[in-house]
Amino acid sequence: MWAGRVLHAALSAAPLSRRAQSALTQLRGVLEEELEAIRGAGTWKSERVITSRQGPRIHVDGVSGGPGTDAFPGPFLLSCCVLSSTSGILNFCANNYLGLSSHPEVIQAGLQALEEFGAGLSSTRFICGTQSIHKDLEAKIACFHQREDAILYPSCFDANAGLFEALLAPQDAVLSDELNHASIIDGIRLCKAHKYRYRHLDMADLEAKLQEAQKHRLRLVATDGAFSMDGDIAPLREICHLASRYGALVFVDECHATGFLGATGRGTDELLGVMDQVTIINSTLGKALGGASGGYTTGPGPLVSLLRQRSRPYLFSNSLPPAVAGCASKALDLLMESNAIIQSMAAKTQRFRSKMEAAGFTVLGASHPICPVMLGDARLASCMADDMLKRGIFVIGFSYPVVPKGKARIRVQISAVHSEEDIDRCVEAFVEVGRLHGALP
């Protein structure tokens, strides 16, 4: 009897196995069709492999250009940076705005934190994953932004995913710029509040939406401070004025502003003089502030306390690794010691923009180190980026779905550790490649 049951089970399992194999074959077919469509559209994104530290000059696997080893200048004298070597590929597409990703003091702080606090916590914050290094960094972030408190996340994507659902209820409303970052859009989708989308930077449309949203309990206007694809800056003065007029709160994502916009690098709210009118700031440690990883929310104390109780990415993610916290903390120290770097970045950004426009290129945005060189066609952007690499310049073409169809571009990002010679060489390569591909006459 027992043998009969075993035989029956084996026979029953065989068709299931065949069905499972058929499902896997079907899945492969669906995936290959999707991948081929991406290749056919010219929007395939290849990952170049860097075999050196992040910096203005890097070494790329399979691309000649020397070891790309840089000697970093003294304590945060980045505006006077002169590289000891001209070898390596010039990197013009990193979010390494202040050049701190490989700063010796930042690296040393990471090594010290690794030695003192270990590789990781193997825990979420509320169980046994909070160390003094986390609390110290949160206090430093709140002080830097002149807010009451701050809370750390594994990334700013997680910070955006965890904010709106915890804060807003069905009787509330959120009003979002149509070109906000994908993480803001995804975070808003998770919440149960009424959702309004206003046209990009259109204050008349925002006001109309605010008037419509007066029936809700809380109204939160959500915007990027600096928009990462176009390099334009939100009109925070006008947004805050409208928010005050219609009883709304203001949330700003400062990922592409923290550390280098504003007189002391506090961000777009400092740049536009509305630090006391922005309620909530989310930002990252993974760009200007060391470039490793991590994000945060800073704002009113009760909000941060609520996020510690209800924010799902915070509650269900491991703590930020101590080495990452140590690097970010040192980056903040360096930034608060001197703001000379901010002035140098502005001059270098203007140098690149003016030379590119004089050559005949269209560069979006104004005065931000994100400089989108508009090309329109996805294949053109990709091919030009490949040819730029052959000439020793590392840039990437951006196309759909990262940007709208027909608005492909090469996004150039200026770093404080780029020299004027680096910038001029980049422009020269753009002109040469642009003429080769018919993007310039």
pLDDT tens for 389-417 read 999 999 999 998 888 899 999 999 999 99
Q: Is the separation of the CB atoms in 68 and 52 below 8 Å? A: yes
Q: Is 76 a residue whose pLDDT tops 80?
A: no
Classify residue 320 by its DSSP letter. P
Read off the pTM.
0.89
Q: Is 251 a residue whose pLDDT tops 60?
A: yes
Q: Whole-angstrom Cα distance, residue 21 to residue 241?
A: 60
User: pLDDT (tens digit, 9 = 90+) per residue, 103-160?
Assistant: 999 999 999 999 999 999 999 999 999 999 999 999 999 999 999 999 999 999 999 9
Answer yes or no: do 161 and 279 share one domain: yes
∠ CA 45-49-50, nearest 5°, is 130
Inside any domain, residue 35 = no
CATH number of domain containing 182? 3.40.640.10
pLDDT, residue 17, reads 77
Beta bridge mates, 223: 252
Catalytically active residues are 228, 256, 287
What average pLDDT does range 226-234 have in this prediction? 94
Backbone angles phi, psi at 82, to 5 degrees: -125, 120
Residue type for position 338? S
Q: Whole-angstrom Cα distance, residue 10 to residue 151?
A: 54
Question: What Cα–Cα distance (Å) separates residue 417 from each residue in 60, 72, 101, 146, 414?
Answer: 19, 9, 11, 28, 8
Q: Whole-angstrom Cα distance, residue 104 to residue 72?
A: 7
Number of domains in the chain: 2
User: pLDDT (tens digit, 9 = 90+) per residue, 341-358?
Assistant: 777 888 899 999 999 999
User: pLDDT (tens digit, 9 = 90+) per residue, 305-319?
Assistant: 999 999 999 999 999
User: pLDDT (tens digit, 9 = 90+) per residue, 149-164?
Assistant: 999 999 999 999 999 9
Q: Say which residue the tokens 């609520």 belong to.
A: 306
Nearest Cα neighbor of 51 from 91, 19, 24, 11 is 91
CATH number of domain containing 390? 3.90.1150.10
Answer yes or no: do 298 and 215 share one domain: yes
Q: Is 66 a residue whose pLDDT tops 50?
A: no
Q: What does the block give as tokens for 308?
A: 């510690």
Q: Is 437 a residue whose pLDDT tops 60?
A: yes
Radius of gyration of the chain (CA): 24
What average pLDDT does range 298-310 have in this prediction? 98
Inside any domain, residue 274 = yes
Q: What does the block give as tokens for 8?
A: 């029956």
Backbone angles phi, psi at 15, to 5 degrees: -60, -35
Answer yes or no: do 331 and 355 share one domain: no
User: pLDDT (tens digit, 9 = 90+) per residue, 2-61?
Assistant: 555 654 555 455 555 787 789 999 999 999 999 999 888 877 888 999 999 999 999 999
What average pLDDT does range 202-221 have in this prediction? 98
Answer yes or no: do 354 and 266 share one domain: no
Domain that holds residue 185: 105-337
Helix axes 104-117, 322-337, angle to 10 degrees: 140
Answer yes or no: do 321 and 348 share one domain: no
Answer yes or no: do 419 and 326 share one domain: no
Q: Are strands 393-394 and 370-376 parallel, antiparallel or unpaired?
A: unpaired
pLDDT, residue 6, reads 53
Answer yes or no: do 345 and 330 share one domain: no
